[in-house]
């Protein structure tokens, strides 16, 4: 049996037993928070437990490295939807120690893509179309640097109000300990004091 077959069998039993009842909620985040974090498997259950949120509490956006790489990309669009359509009023970027994006070299990814059949012609076409694969597929030097860069892209976004707190944190992927790198409340207070 394949993995997908196993999933579908389990899903049918899950629905028949009405196990979904324990997860019922609506589309609005109870804690009015958007969390951008890494897709690392170690964080799947650890991060919600360490941050004390449950199903329905936050809007959770996951990608490689908790990176907001472009101010008009899909992560930023999701943040804008959460703020303006789903009543979120705070954002937290949560990176983690031991992240695979730290020190990631684009050439390793491209070499593996070539091994899987992606042609040089395709890579050349992407380059001629203005896509900088080196920049797009390169990680960060430190998790703290990655979190700070993402926080700044969000904070500086022209479609978000300056009064929106944007926090930056790093979680230990073993213990769940959180370190606050950037206090969004303090940044908002400082901004309001200078008005």
Instruction: Round to the nearest angstrom and report the end-to-end CA distance of the chain.
Output: 64
Superfamily of domain 3-99+141-193: Carbonic anhydrase (3.40.1050.10)
Token readout for 11 is: 């899903």
Query: Comparing C-alpha atoms, which of 85, 87, 79 is closest to residue 160?
Result: 79
H/E element, 166: strand 166-171
Q: What is the pLDDT of residue 98?
A: 95
Tell me the mean pLDDT in the region 28-54. 97
Percentage of the chain with pLDDT > 70? Answer: 99
On the 0-12 / 13-18 / 19+ scale of CB atoms within 10 A, 185 is exposed
Q: What is the residue extent of each domain of the chain?
A: 3-99+141-193, 105-138
Q: Which residue has the tokens 């930023």?
A: 76
**Region class of 87: left (phi > 0), else alpha (psi between -120 and 50), else beta:** left
Distance CA 129, CA 178 (A): 41
| Beta strand 178-182 pairing with 166-171 | antiparallel
Share of the chain above pLDDT 90, in %: 91
CA–CA gap between residue 170 and residue 176 (Å, rounded): 9
Segment 83-103 shows an average pLDDT of 96
- Tens-digit pLDDT profile for residues 124-172: 999 999 999 998 898 899 999 999 999 999 999 999 999 999 999 999 9
Q: What value does the mean pLDDT of the chain take?
A: 95
Q: Is 0.85 surpassed by the pTM of this model?
A: yes
Residue 195 has a pLDDT of 72
- Write out the DSSP string of 2-18: -HHHHHHHHHHHHHHTT
CA distance 64 to 37: 8
What dihedral do alpha carbons 131, 96, 186, 28 form, nearest 10°? 80
82, 29 in Cβ contact below 8 A?
yes
Tokens of 65: 């490295």
């Amino acid at each position: 049996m394949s993995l997908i077959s196993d999933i579908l069998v389990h899903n049918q039993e899950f629905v028949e037993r009405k196990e979904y009842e324990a997860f019922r909620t609506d589309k609005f985040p109870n804690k009015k928070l958007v969390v951008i974090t890494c897709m690392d498997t170690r964080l799947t259950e650890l991060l919600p437990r360490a941050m004390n949120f449950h199903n329905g509490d936050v809007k959770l956006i996951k990608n490689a490295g908790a990176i907001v790489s472009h101010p008009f990309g899909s992560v930023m669009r999701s943040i804008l939807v959460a703020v303006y359509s789903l009543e979120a009023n705070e954002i937290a970027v949560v990176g983690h120690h031991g992240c695979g994006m730290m020190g990631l070299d684009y050439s390793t990814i491209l070499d593996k893509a070539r091994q899987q059949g992606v042609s040089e012609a395709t890579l050349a076409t992407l380059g001629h179309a203005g896509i900088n694969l080196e920049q797009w597929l390169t990680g960060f030097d430190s998790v703290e640097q990655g979190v700070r860069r993402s926080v700044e892209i969000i904070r500086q976004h022209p479609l978000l109000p300056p009064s929106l707190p944007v926090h930056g944190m790093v979680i230990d992927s073993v213990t769940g300990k959180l370190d606050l790198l950037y206090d969004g409340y303090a940044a908002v207070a400082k901004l309001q004091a200078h008005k």
